[in-house]
Structure 1
Amino acid sequence: MGRGSTDPDANAEVHKAARLLWEGRGYAGVETAFVSLAAPDVPSGLDRCVRLGARRIVVLPYFLFTGILPDRVRLQTEGWAAAHPEVEVRSADVIGPEPELLDLVWERYTEAVEGDLRMNCDSCVYRVALPGFEDKVGLPQQPHFHPDDDGHHHGHGHGHHHGAHSHAH
């Protein structure tokens, strides 16, 4: 379960992570869903798993830390599970402060300081005319405002960015 964004590239990254999780590990399947701003939502994602034959589901919140959105994933999962007693549903924890995460953050910091940034521009709506987003090509890049960001009640253009990646082209 990802956060969900109005940015198709950010949502695609969640699908990519799900695919990487699936491959080579022997899981029956991995489905991607989002807690807000993108489809499918949490209950729809769980419904899809059952339609594909799942009898046991592990809900993995794709978040670094706890907060409003991971809590919402868990609550919606619990509500769905209560209505579907024939399915075994378990909730995993958020990623949390793992040593590998520290290594990755340090690696990205070093790349930034040394000017060795490699942005994913091939699917950025500000660079490429993606279907349904053609009007964004060439526009100044805006941070993605998210209505559920805790304590961040601001509009566009304040230089803040809350997401898995940024469009610093």
Structure 2
Amino acid sequence: MRETVSIGKKNGKMGERNPALLIVGHGSRDPRGATEFHELVELVRGRNPSLPVEGGFIELSRPPIGECVDSIAAGGTREVAAVPLMLLAAGHAKDDIPATLVREKMDHPEMSFRYGRALGVRPELLELMEERISAVVSEDEKSETAVLVVGRGSSDPDANSDLAKITRLFYEGRAYPLVESAFVSMTPPTVHEGLDRCRRLGARRVVVFSYFLFTGVLEERIREQTEAFAAGNEDVEVRYAGYFGPDERVADLLMERYDEAVQGDIRMNCDVCVHRVALPGFEEKVGAPATPHYHPDEPGHDHGYDHPHGHHH
């Protein structure tokens, strides 16, 4: 049973209710990605019918976080537990969303906010990745098939290193002789470099998995780059296994992160965080202030998609 938190008077009576769950996504230029996000939010609602649940984005898609908080407030809930719907913790989860919640607290002083952690490195996600890959690789092919796991890529070395951990964990105990990682943006190795490394190491069949929750511009780019490599390297068979997509296991993992936030049991990894530790090349990030991330549809938005710090996903 989940802990209930007293929030004082409601409609003139003292009452208890669970904090609302605010699911925070990044957003996508591809409307299919936003649709899949909302499908996952509906999965969470359906599996937790007594819980107020809202889902919104920090940019690119609607609704913005401010509208979600307004909706929660209008429903009478005064406590919010926000969970970043992100696979790995990088700048958005560490800086943009917490700063945005501070801004919402300033706009809604009667409300309180708690913050959960990203989905992280989890066995459920490794299991789901195995299912997606098994859909395109038969059991008797696995011992002769390399796997390339492609992440989004980040300027945060902590998040990038997590993908390397994920690929190693996926390798352990499975039949695949080789599991490598690559990134589609921000940092090397590229998709082409990752595939070429598998080829040079002797792979004659490679399956590519996009370590993404939903489709979008970058997921499509991985698919296209995979096809381009295959067309130019006929000595290697390349298959594409897709991405996670909305799934009940992801919905349940979101609820686990919600429970952590409500109960105050947050175990964020800070040992190698660029905001706490001076890592080579990232020294200027230590102690740097976080700033709210304004959605284009929110008041106060001061940069467009062409701003040098804008994002293109």
TM-score range, shorter chain: 0.7 to 0.9
Q: Which string of whole-angstrom CA distances, capped at 9 and with x for unpartnered residues, describes residues 63-95 of structure 1? A: 011111110000000001000111110000211
Which structure 2 residues correspond to residues 154-165 of structure 1 after superposition, within 5 A?
A: none
- State the shift of 1:142 in Å: 5.9
Determine whether 1:122 maps to 2:274: no
d(CA) in 2 for partners of 1:142 and 1:69?
25
- 2:233 pairs, out of 70, 74, 84, with 84
- 1:63 pairs, out of 212, 226, 246, with 212
Partner of 1:165 in structure 2? Answer: none
> What 5-or-longer segments of structure 2 have no aligned partner?
1-149, 294-303
d(CA) in 2 for partners of 1:119 and 1:29?
30
Q: TM-score, normalised by structure 1?
A: 0.82
Question: Which protein is bigger by CA-based radius of gyration?
Answer: 2
Relative to structure 2, which stretch is displaced further, 15-24 or 60-69? Answer: 15-24
d(CA) in 2 for partners of 1:64 and 1:25?
23
- 2:203 pairs, out of 24, 29, 54, with 54
- State the shift of 1:155 in Å: 6.3
d(CA) in 2 for partners of 1:17 and 1:23?
10
- 1:8 pairs, out of 154, 157, 166, with 157
- Which protein is richer in strand relative to its size? 2
d(CA) in 2 for partners of 1:58 and 1:50?
12
Relative to structure 2, which stretch is displaced further, 76-85 or 123-132? Answer: 123-132
- Which protein is richer in helix relative to its size? 2
d(CA) in 2 for partners of 1:111 and 1:156?
36
Q: How many residues align?
A: 150
Relative to structure 2, which stretch is displaced further, 95-104 or 41-50? Answer: 95-104
d(CA) in 2 for partners of 1:72 and 1:103?
29
Counterpart AA for 1:110: D
Partner of 1:112 in structure 2? Answer: 261
Give the SS at the match of 2:221: helix
d(CA) in 1 for partners of 2:157 and 2:292?
14
Q: TM-score, normalised by structure 2?
A: 0.45
